Amino acid sequence: MHGIGTHIWRNHGKGKEFVPNSKGHVAWNAGLIKDDPRVKRYSETLKRRYENGELVGSQTGKFMPEDVRDKISNSIIERSREGTWHSSISKSRIYEYKGIELHRSWEYEYAVWLDKNCVEWDRPDERFPYQYEGKIHYYTPDFYLIEDDVFIEIKGYETEKDRSK
């Protein structure tokens, strides 16, 4: 249930710009970054509640066995080497912003940040060749900053394939 403040924000304020989730709702924290005072305040509240014992983490006092940790780590390394670590995820998370498709929330948040800071940007069409594992591939960066004449790539987990680009 949403209050009148949420209604005003979503229907008459900046909340109109945020992309709804799969259920058609806009999360209260959509588009927030870690420096936002609301995020900081919420983080401090949670930290205090953990310290006071009001909240207990589900993993508190539990340790992952070394063989399980190694198995997960090796799986991530192998998927990164294959170039499938983040690409399989990113294709399923498309955000539309001002009629432009953006992949993952990081790109979406960056586009919003650029606009709020009056930085002119575009989605480049240019493709650049790069070599990975002895083969030529092509790569299109995420953003082009017009005034600075620079390409920007937004990444989560950097892989060997990313570095070759």
Average per-residue pLDDT for the chain: 76
Q: What is the pTM of this model?
A: 0.45
pLDDT digits (tens, 9 = 90+) for 68-90: 878 887 887 787 777 666 544 44
Contact 133, 139 (CB under 8 A): no
Residue 76: Cβ within 10 Å count:
13
Classify burial at 114, counting beta carbons within 10 Å of its beta carbon; exposed 0-12, middle 13-18, buried 19 or more: middle
- Is 123:144 a contact under the CB 8 Å cutoff? yes
Position 69 scores a pLDDT of: 78
CB contact at 8 A, 154 and 104: yes
The alpha carbon of 75 is separated from its chain's Cα centroid by a whole number of angstroms, namely: 22
**Residue at token pair 């940040």:** 113
Name the more confident of 55 and 52: 52
pLDDT of 157 > 90? The answer is no
Please give the single-letter amino acid code of residue 53: G
